[in-house]
Structure 1
Amino acid sequence: MINIVVELSKYVILTLMIIYTILCYYLVVGKHASDRKGLLQTQISLTFFLDFTAFLVVFLKTFDFKVAVFYAEMMVYFAAILILYRRIYKNASMLLLNNMCMLLSVGFIMLCRLDIASANKQLLIVACGSAVALVIPVMIRKMKFLKDLTWIYAGVGVVLLAAVLVLAQTSYGAKLSLMGIQPSEVIKLTFVFFMASLLAREVTFKKVVLATVVAGLHVGILVLSRDLGSAVIFFVAYMVMIYVSTRKPVYLGIGLAGGAVGSVIAYHLFGHVRERVSAWKDPMAVYQNEGYQIVQSLFAIGTGGWFGMGLCQGSPEKIPVVKNDFIFSAICEELGGIFAICLILVCMSFFLTIVEIALQIKNPFYKLIAIGLGTEYAFQVFLTIGGATKFIPMTGVTLPLVSYGGSSIMCMILMIAIIQGLYIYREDEDEEIERHRREAAKRARQRAAEAAAERDY
Structure 2
Amino acid sequence: MINVIVELSKYLILTLMIIYTFHCFYTVRQQDEIERNELLRQQMVLIFFMDFTAFLVIYLKTFNFQVIVFYVEMMVFFAAVQILYRIFYKKASLLLLNNMCMLLSVGFIMLCRLDIATATKQLVIAAAASGIALIIPVMIRKMKFLRRLTWLYAGVGIILLAAVFLLARTSYGAKLSLMGIQPSEVIKITFVFFTASLFSRANDFRTVVQATVVAALHVGILVLSRDLGSAVIFFAAYLVMLYVSTKKPQYLGLGLAGGSLGAVVAYFLFGHVRQRVSAWRDPMAVYQNEGYQIVQSLFAIGTGGWFGMGLCQGSPESIPVVKNDFIFSAICEELGGIFAICLILVCMSFFLMIVNIALRIKNPFYKLIALGLGTEYAFQVILTIGGATKFIPMTGVTLPLVSYGGSSVMSTILMLAIIQGLYILREDEDEEFERRRKEAAQRIRAREEARRARDI
Query: Is the shorter-chain TM-score for this pair beyond 0.5, marking a shared fold?
Result: yes
1:242-275 Cα shifts (integer Å, max 9, x gaps): 0011111111111110010000000011111111
1:372-402 Cα shifts (integer Å, max 9, x gaps): 0000000000000000000000000000000
Pair 1:253-2:237 in alignment: no
Matched position secondary structure for 1:35: helix
Show the counterpart of 2:448.
448
Pair 1:131-2:131 in alignment: yes
Matched position secondary structure for 2:178: coil
Q: What's the offset of the Cα at 1:28? A: 2.5
What amino acid does structure 2 have at the position aligned with 1:93? Answer: S
Pair 1:56-2:50 in alignment: no
Matched position secondary structure for 1:322: coil
Pair 1:173-2:173 in alignment: yes
What amino acid does structure 1 have at the position aligned with 2:430? Answer: D
Quote the Cα distance in structure 1 between the aligned partners of 2:32 and 2:253: 38
Quote the Cα distance in structure 2 between the aligned partners of 1:163 and 1:274: 26
Show the counterpart of 1:215.
215
Quote the Cα distance in structure 2 between the aligned partners of 1:271 and 1:261: 17
Q: Is the 8 A contact 1:313 1:334 kept in 2?
A: yes
Q: What's the offset of the Cα at 1:31? A: 4.4
Show the counterpart of 2:99.
99
Quote the Cα distance in structure 2 between the aligned partners of 1:79 and 1:48: 10
What amino acid does structure 1 have at the position aligned with 2:192? Answer: V
Show the counterpart of 1:279.
279
Quote the Cα distance in structure 2 between the aligned partners of 1:252 and 1:284: 37
Q: Is the 8 A contact 1:28 1:349 kept in 2?
A: no
Quote the Cα distance in structure 2 between the aligned partners of 1:251 and 1:267: 24
Q: What's the offset of the Cα at 1:439? A: 1.3
Matched position secondary structure for 2:362: coil
What amino acid does structure 2 have at the position aligned with 1:345? Answer: L
Show the counterpart of 1:367.
367
Q: What's the offset of the Cα at 1:32? A: 4.5
Q: What's the offset of the Cα at 1:151? A: 0.5
Q: Is the 8 A contact 1:314 1:334 kept in 2?
A: yes
1:36-435 alignment runs, 5 A limit: 36-435=36-435
Quote the Cα distance in structure 1 between the aligned partners of 2:205 and 2:359: 24
Q: Is the 8 A contact 1:28 1:352 kept in 2?
A: no
1:183-239 Cα shifts (integer Å, max 9, x gaps): 000000000000100011331111111110100000001011110000000000000
What amino acid does structure 1 have at the position aligned with 2:172? Answer: Y
Quote the Cα distance in structure 1 between the aligned partners of 2:269 and 2:29: 47
Show the counterpart of 1:22.
22
Q: What's the offset of the Cα at 1:455? A: 2.8
Quote the Cα distance in structure 2 between the aligned partners of 1:93 and 1:357: 10
Q: Is the 8 A contact 1:54 1:311 kept in 2?
A: yes
Quote the Cα distance in structure 1 between the aligned partners of 2:85 and 2:331: 29
Q: What's the offset of the Cα at 1:30? A: 3.1
What amino acid does structure 2 have at the position aligned with 1:426? Answer: R
Quote the Cα distance in structure 2 between the aligned partners of 1:445 and 1:135: 43
1:118-174 Cα shifts (integer Å, max 9, x gaps): 000000000000000000000000001111111111111011001111111111111
Quote the Cα distance in structure 2 between the aligned partners of 1:390 and 1:396: 13
Q: What's the offset of the Cα at 1:445? A: 2.0
Quote the Cα distance in structure 1 between the aligned partners of 2:277 and 2:27: 40
Listed as ranges, the gaps of 5+ residues in structure 2 are: none
How many residues are aligned here?
456
Q: Which runs of 4+ in 1 moved over 6 A?
A: none
1:73-122 Cα shifts (integer Å, max 9, x gaps): 00000011001111110100000000000000000000000000000000
1:29-76 Cα shifts (integer Å, max 9, x gaps): 334465100000000100000000000000000000000000000000
Quote the Cα distance in structure 1 between the aligned partners of 2:151 and 2:69: 47
Quote the Cα distance in structure 2 between the aligned partners of 1:214 and 1:29: 40
Quote the Cα distance in structure 1 between the aligned partners of 2:152 and 2:428: 28
Q: What's the offset of the Cα at 1:178? A: 0.5
Identify if the C-alpha distance between structure 1 residues 325 and 224 changes in structure 2 by more than 3 Å, giving closer, same or farther: same
Quote the Cα distance in structure 1 between the aligned partners of 2:261 and 2:60: 53
Quote the Cα distance in structure 2 between the aligned partners of 1:31 and 1:275: 51
Q: What's the offset of the Cα at 1:453? A: 2.7
Q: What's the offset of the Cα at 1:446? A: 2.1
Q: Is the 8 A contact 1:239 1:252 kept in 2?
A: yes
When normalised by structure 2's length, the TM-score is: 0.99
Quote the Cα distance in structure 1 between the aligned partners of 2:259 and 2:441: 53
Q: What's the offset of the Cα at 1:441? A: 1.5
Quote the Cα distance in structure 1 between the aligned partners of 2:10 and 2:445: 64
Q: What's the offset of the Cα at 1:27? A: 1.5
Q: What's the offset of the Cα at 1:443? A: 1.7
